[in-house]
Amino acid sequence: MICVSADLVDGGDGVRFVVQRGGRDVAAFAVRFRGKVYAYFNRCAHVAVELDWQPGRFFDSDGLYLICATHGALYRPESGACVEGPCRGGRLEMLPVVERDGGVFLAD
């Protein structure tokens, strides 16, 4: 389980977690937007750095876009598409998640 459903408030702080890829731990995060949970690798499409300037702070001040703390790229929470910033046209890599029984899980 990534977290309990109540940990993710719409447009609020996200939850950081780690997934295994190629035998390595890779940083990822989950957020809630318009009721639905989305998860991405925590790696900007511009430079391979983590997005959050403070752990869990992925949304911009309006709670409408995910924002990279380094150069301010803005991403659509529901698709990971970069709509503004140096990596415009790029996207975050999404991880499939499901929400059930009060929890958020990586989908198989």
Q: Can you give the binding site for ligand FES, defined by CB under 6 A?
A: 44, 46-47, 49, 68, 70-71, 73, 85-87
Shortest spacing between CB 10 and ligand FES, in angstroms: 24
3-state secondary structure of 42: coil
Asked if 104 and 48 count as a contact pair (C-beta separation under 8 A), the reply is no
Shortest spacing between CB 69 and ligand FES, in angstroms: 8
Shortest spacing between CB 100 and ligand FES, in angstroms: 32
- Give the strands of the sheet with 3-4, arranged side by side: 3-4, 103-106, 97-100
Comparing CB distances to ligand FES, the nearer of 47 and 83 is: 47
Q: Which two tokens stand for residue 60?
A: 């911009």
